[in-house]
Structures are given as C-alpha cells and as structure tokens.
Amino acid sequence: MDKTKMKKNIIEEQSINDNNYQKLKELFPHAVSVGEDGRYTIDPQKLQMSLDPSKAEIREDGYGLNWVGKKEAYHNAFTKNYKVLKPLKDESKNWDETENILIKGDNLDVLKILRHNYFESIKMIYIDPPYNTKNDGFVYNDNFTSSTEQTLEELGYDKEYIDYIENIQGAKTHSGWLSFMYPRLLLARDLLKDDGVIFISIDDNEAAQLKILCDEVFGEENFIKDLIVNTSEGGGQAKYVVNGHEYLYVYAKDIMSFDNLKRPKDIRGKKIKINDELYWIQEDAIRKEFGKYGNLHYEEILEYRDEKFKEKIDKGIQNNEYTLVKKDYGMHIIGKLRKLSDDFSKFHSILNIDNINKHLTADGIKELEAIFEASKGESPFSNPKPLELIKRVILSSTFKPKEDDIILDFFGGSGTTAHAIMELNSQDNGNRKYILVQLPELINKAKSKAAFDLVKKLRKVQHPEIKKEEELLKKYPPVIFDITKARIDKAGEKIGKGDIGFRTFEVVEDAKQKIYQKSLEEVSQDDLVAMMEKPEIETSEEILYNLFVAEVLPLSTKHQELIKDKLYLASNVAFILGDITSDELVDALKGYKECEYITVYSPNISNDKFTLEIESNISKLGIKPDKLRFRG
C-alpha cells in the first residue's frame, strides 16, 4: 500500500471528524466533548434530551447536573410561546428615534420571543439573577404547562415525581433554582453572537451549581473566569467570616471566536499615583515620539529653541497625556499616561485589587438615592449593582463603541445596565444599544417601604385624576418595573447626550392563541365568535411589531405608514395589515426599490380575489413569489 496515500487518508479522516465535532458542538454543546484521551465523545442521553426529552434516561435523584425536573426545565425552554408583545408608546421615551428596548414581562416569555428576531445577534449579556437566599423574592414561578400532568407523563416521569416537580418551582431548593435558570440560560446562549460573552452575578448560595450548569449549557471550554467582586468593606455581624464579595461568572459563546477579536493593545507599564488616581505609564512613549529629546527635564525643554516642540509638550501636559514628576532637581517628563481605571485590555480575577473604582453595593445604593433624590437609607433597592462595575464589564466586550453592539439584561432590576450603557456612550460617542427585561413584580410594602413609597409617588404624578390613594393603588398596584423605567428615564435626563430614549413593550396573552390550545370539547361559542372577529384597528401597530418578530426585524426597526392601518414598510419588508386593492398596493410600493418581501396578515384580509391575485401583482414590482409570506 502507498504509505503516502494512507497518511493522506488518515489526515482527511481526522479533518472530517474535527469538522463533524465542531458542527455537533455548535448545535448540541452539552452533548459532545473531548475526553482526557483526546477522543471525541457523544453523551447519547444528553443528545436525546435535545431531540426528545421524553425518551432520555437521566437519573434525577439529586442535584447538580441531574436533578428532579431537569427534563421539564429543558422542555420549558422550547415549548411554543403563546405570548405577544404590546407596544406601550405612552410609557416610552423618544419612540421614533431610540434604538433601546425596555420590556415588561416574565423573562422566559421574552427570551422565547427574542429568539426569533435576535438569534445570534447579542454581543453581551449581563444578568443578576435571584441568588436563592432567604431574603430574595424569587417570584418567577414558571407555569410548566396548562396541563402539567399530561406533559410530565409525555416526558416520561413517574406519577410519584409529578407533585414534587410542581412544588419545586419557585422554592428555595437547589432543584427549584436549577429548573428556573436552565431554560433561561439555554435561550440566552442562542441569542449570543459567536464572539459574544455572558456575565452572571452570583453569591455562595448557588455559585457551585451555576458553574456546573453553565459548563453544560455553554461548554466547559468556553469558561473564561469566575471573577471576585468586592461588595462591602469593614466589619459585620457574621458568625465566622465577614462576607465582602460575590462572583461574576464569565462564559464565551465560542472561545475561538472570542479569542480572535481584535482588542486594544495592552497599555500596561509602570504605575504612578497622581492626585489619588492611579495611572499606567509607558516609559519609552516620549522617546518614541520625540526621539533623542525624550525624557528630558522640563527646564531643558523650555530652553530648547524649537517652539513647536515646546508647544507639543505643553499641550500634552495640559491634556494629561504626559505628566511632570519632581526629581532630585527640577521637573521631569515621565511619559504618556492613561488612567488605570480605563485599562480594559484585561481583567484581574479580583476586580478591584488596585483599590480603584471599587464596586461596592453601598456605591450602587448611593447612586440610586441620588437619582431619585432620596434621603440616606431610602434606596428602593437593597443590593443594586454599582455603575462602575457594569461599565467595566460592558467595556471589556464592547471596546469598539461604534459597532452598534446590543447588550441584553433580562433581570433588569434597578436598571444599572441601561444607565451604564447611556453613560459610556456619552463618554466615547458609542452606539451601544440595550434590551432590558423586568418582571412587573408586585412590591411588598412590608419588605420594601422605600420602593413602595417611591412608586406610589410616581403613580400620583402619572394619574392625577385619581384623588383617592386607595383607589389609585388598587387600579395601578406598585410594581418593580416602574422603578426600573423611572431610573432609566431620570438617568438619561441627567446624562443628556446620545440615545437616552427607550421603546417600551409589554408581554401579553394572545387571546386567540389561548383558544388554539383548547381541545374541541373545551372550545365555547364565545371562543368561536372571538376567532371570527377581526382585530380592532387600534391594534394594528401591535400586530406590526409582532410581525417584526416573525420577519426577524429588530424591535427598534423604523417603519413608514404608506396606507393608514393597512400598508407599512419597514426595512426591506412591506406589511399588509388590512384590505387594499392590488392597484393600491402596486402604486404605494412602486417608488420603494428597497422593498424585497411582502408579508400579509391573513386574519385581516377578507378579499379572496386580492389573495389569489397578489402573486401576479407583486411581479410588477419585481418581487418574486417566494418573497411573499402569509402570517397569522
């Protein structure tokens, strides 16, 4: 046998295996791995989980990677979504100009919606989920399905487990918390770009479980680091150890793509302290720029005859590019400077090791009190993340501010992420955009009087027509979302530069979809009537934005109304939402060469002739039949 040919075949076979592994790894990251012997391994049960959880044989008698309810949690991530988005223009800011998105609703519903039109589009995700402590609310009680027992039986669960699985949701158990996080992280992974990254704040309660869970969802090889964040200083009432830190887990979507990003060059050199601020210096910087005259004493430079040279040095000193340090005699120029706090080329595993830009919870509290002009001790949140922490995290992965990167935070909380993005954009003229999600969680007055009083105050401003406080709070009960939105609004006003607006949407039930879920025996006469009715004309914009989701258009997409309530143009798609004639359609679109697709919302079209003729008519516009879609 030709040894050369044999060697070539082996190499080709290895390449094919490598290629197959990479493809499987993209689709099923938790099911394939490389063993210690360097061989590729497929876990058949994990692969089965991805295809049909009911046939997966996974032990569920503990927690960790296997816990009671895991199959149901996976199933919950990819069950069909029957919710829709409702645009709330009155609760938005600069609707027509902004590209930021704020969504009110359960983040699991939102992630399922976003998976359609933001699939592999998010540059960075930061989340601060419930820590599963004795004090956090943990109110996200996922409703597994409308017919829980039937679904669990289909997934292969024994009867004895059904009650237990129903009871663990929202409970402060490891299994309950894992069942809560698993579907959200699975969906989050699908939203990240290949070079995207996710940051997750957590404390000791679930740090160990989160690490193992993220290794499964994102792949152990994509783990970057568990950063330590100092959150408090001083003493405490702890029995054994004063707890002054949390963790920030960092995972790449694909470590190879993340590694290939062109990052700013590492600017580190020696450190120098000026006015209590630490700076990096590069000793050779002036010598490179000024040749043999680099590192001269300032007095000698003043004597140098070239005025342009002196002007350049003086301007550099004024702009803090260089500085003067007192030596044994005279002043000495030491080199270019950059604030240590501005160096985002690398993280240290302990974020504030240099005691710069501390990331203390107390700072986050002060920032919230300042935003809402509240007295000390009246912050509406007890553990808000400080701005400097989130800014640093954002800069580490969106270091090209003009790239239109989208940052997602689906546990919006106090709104720090949106605030940080607006502030960064105002500082470096960036184009970063945010999508923030927050549950309209009812505020417990007994647990958070400051938050309750704040929203009560906001309600009185929003609805001055309701004089009685009891009636006002009954009709508009205080929810956390209102604080999130108010903080973003007030922070934007204070920043006053760049995109400080937001489009607000709310996740709502789709009445018709709920009817579709019913069996024939359950459908009532009223249901049938509702199915026959056309949507009210006021909902045309709601229909439009949900069609944006179906057509993979961002929620920030601008649109034109070509025929009121009937024909809209957004990006390269024309949307037909009501009865129009073929001539009206052709006349309205003939001047828009960017139009490549036609989407028809079928429930609103009663003219059968129009539906039959539309293919031939759009050909007059140069649009092929395969670019025509019927929705609804």
pTM of this structure: 0.78
Q: What is the pLDDT of residue 298?
A: 53
More confident residue, 3 or 509: 509
Q: Tokens 């400077």 sit at which residue? A: 337
Q: Distance between CA 75 and CA 152 in Å, rounded?
A: 10
Q: What is the pLDDT of residue 582?
A: 86
Q: What is the pLDDT of residue 290?
A: 56
The domain spans of the chain are 1-47, 270-342, 442-478, 534-631
pLDDT band at 514 (very low <50, low <70, confident <90, very high): low
Q: What is the pLDDT of residue 325?
A: 62
> Does pLDDT of 584 surpass 80?
yes
Helix (H, G, I), strand (E, B) or coil at 511: helix
As a whole-number percent, the residues of the chain with pLDDT over 90 amount to: 33
> Does pLDDT of 61 surpass 60?
no
Name which of 122-136, 142-156, 175-189, 227-241 the model is least confident about.
142-156
Tell me what the mean pLDDT of segment 356-375 comes to.
82
Q: What is the pLDDT of residue 87?
A: 94
Helices (H), 298-355: 298-303, 307-318
Q: What is the pLDDT of residue 501?
A: 97
Q: Which amino acid is at 16?
A: I
| CA 272 and chain centroid, separation | 37
Please name the residues in contact with 524: beta carbons below 8 A apart, sequence gap of 6 or more: none
Max mean pLDDT range (355-364, 438-447, 512-521): 438-447
Tell me what the mean pLDDT of segment 410-415 comes to.
94
Phi, psi of 621 (to 5 degrees): -95, 0
Tell me what the mean pLDDT of segment 377-396 comes to.
88
> Does pLDDT of 352 surpass 50?
yes
Q: What is the pLDDT of residue 11?
A: 38
pLDDT band at 214 (very low <50, low <70, confident <90, very high): very high
Give residue-wise pLDDT tens across range 92-104. Answer: 999 999 999 999 9
pLDDT band at 186 (very low <50, low <70, confident <90, very high): very high
Q: Tokens 């249901």 sit at which residue? A: 527
Q: Which of 393, 431, 344, 388 is nearest to 125 (CA)?
A: 393
Q: What is the pLDDT of residue 278?
A: 58
> Does pLDDT of 571 surpass 50?
yes
Q: What is the pLDDT of residue 144?
A: 41
pLDDT band at 122 (very low <50, low <70, confident <90, very high): very high
3-state helix, strand, coil split of the chain in percent (to 5) is 45, 20, 40
Tell me what the mean pLDDT of segment 68-90 comes to.
86
Q: Distance between CA 118 and CA 191 in Å, rounded?
A: 6
Q: What is the pLDDT of residue 137?
A: 58
Tell me what the mean pLDDT of segment 511-526 comes to.
57
Max mean pLDDT range (251-255, 302-306, 524-528, 532-536): 251-255
Name which of 56-60, 96-100, 329-333 the model is least confident about.
329-333
Bridge partners of 271, per DSSP, are 280
Q: Which of 168, 176, 85, 74 is nearest to 129 (CA)?
A: 176
Mean pLDDT, the chain, as a whole number? 79
b/e 484-521 (16+ beta carbons within 10 angstroms → b): bbbbbbbbbeeeeebbbbbbbbbbeebebeebeeeeee
Tell me what the mean pLDDT of segment 143-155 comes to.
56
Q: What is the pLDDT of residue 392?
A: 87
- What the block records as the tokens of 551 is 């057509």
Give residue-wise pLDDT tens across range 259-314. Answer: 777 665 555 555 656 566 655 555 555 555 555 444 445 555 555 546 666 777 77
pLDDT band at 506 (very low <50, low <70, confident <90, very high): very high
- What the block records as the tokens of 246 is 């949390």
Q: Distance between CA 507 and CA 173 in Å, rounded?
A: 28
More confident residue, 469 or 122: 122
Max mean pLDDT range (311-315, 339-343, 589-593): 589-593
Max mean pLDDT range (173-182, 357-366, 509-518, 570-579): 570-579
pLDDT band at 4 (very low <50, low <70, confident <90, very high): very low
Q: Which amino acid is at 74?
A: Y
Whole-Å CA distances, 552 to 100, 113, 119, 193, 194? 17, 11, 8, 15, 18
Cβ-based neighbour number of residue 472 at 10 Å: 19
Tell me what the mean pLDDT of segment 547-561 comes to.
93
Give residue-wise pLDDT tens across range 451-471. Answer: 888 898 988 988 889 989 889
